[in-house]
């Protein structure tokens, strides 16, 4: 079992630096993947209302043999539920589906600037946080302009900003901004996403570094996230891949490796653009 390190969020909450994402995973596959991950040493599970699998995540936690306090659970508010009252109702519904009394991290899934409700929504998250039913609150897919606008009225600085981030989309300006504001960056699609549409895993540079360290390309990329102080949540339903993704704490990338991976950035997304993502 791998021992995964923690990062400390701006409110003192400790968050595992590597977790399991369960987007596009359902039913028994969710339960099996989470059990495999927990057995491999993972303690962070990332879901969302929009994933339609909160019930299965809750079942996996209850049947895992692990104490609830050992597991860091993240879920997210969907776009159509934004607004103060809607957010409170949606949060209660997520807790009910999960079968939990609290979550460790609750995020606004997208800013949806056309809807223009994320500041009002954040006020509801602040009240949820004050109640203790979310140990930390944050945002997802927020650009600098969205964070600037939010922070003008926020009483609580977001603890986390979960964004698409991988060697093809390194988000350096956003990372610097969040570091300055003490907002932890969490990487979704950390190795390039389903099917590796951006060709990250097959990039010659990544393959060469993997050969050098006798590791897989995915392990090299995940190690890059870790050494950059990021939290990463790769998705898999395969127990062997889940274990492989966690086997990244017995080596380090050197400065030359880091420089070569840094040169791969082309600011290319595989997911939606936060500026244009609509509210449906």
Which position among 51, 106, 118, 129 bears the catalytic label? 51
Beta strand pairing call for 105-108 and 184-188:
unpaired
Sheet holding 72-77, edge to edge: 20-21, 44-46, 72-77, 105-108, 137-140, 160-164, 184-188, 231-232
Please indicate whether residue 51 is annotated as part of the active site. yes
* Catalytic annotation, residues: 51
């Amino acid at each position: 079992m791998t021992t995964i390190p923690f990062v400390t969020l701006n409110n003192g909450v400790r968050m595992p630096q590597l977790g399991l994402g369960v987007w596009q995973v359902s039913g028994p596959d969710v339960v099996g993947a989470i059990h495999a991950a927990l057995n491999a040493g993972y303690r962070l599970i990332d879901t969302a209302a929009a994933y339609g699998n909160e019930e299965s995540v809750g079942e996996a936690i209850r049947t895992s043999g692990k104490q609830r306090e050992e597991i860091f659970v993240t879920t997210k508010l969907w776009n159509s539920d934004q607004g103060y009252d809607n957010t409170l109702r949606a949060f209660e519904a997520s807790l009910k589906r999960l079968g939990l009394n609290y979550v460790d991290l609750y995020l606004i899934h997208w800013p949806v600037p056309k809807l223009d409700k994320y500041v009002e929504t954040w006020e509801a998250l602040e009240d949820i946080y004050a109640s203790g039913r979310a140990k930390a609150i944050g945002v997802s897919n927020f650009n600098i302009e969205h964070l600037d606008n939010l922070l003008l009225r926020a009483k609580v600085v977001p603890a986390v900003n979960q964004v698409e981030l991988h060697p093809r989309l390194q988000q350096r300006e956003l990372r610097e901004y969040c570091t300055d504001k003490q907002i932890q960056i969490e990487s979704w699609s950390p190795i390039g996403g389903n099917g590796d549409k951006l060709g990250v895993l097959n990039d010659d540079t990544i393959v060469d570094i993997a050969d050098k360290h006798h590791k897989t390309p995915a392990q090299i990329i995940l190690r890059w996230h870790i050494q950059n102080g990021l939290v990463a949540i790769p998705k898999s339903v395969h127990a062997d891949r889940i274990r492989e993704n966690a086997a990244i704490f017995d080596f380090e990338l050197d400065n030359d490796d880091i420089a070569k991976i840094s040169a791969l950035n082309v600011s290319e997304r595989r997911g939606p653009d936060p500026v244009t993502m609509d509210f449906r």
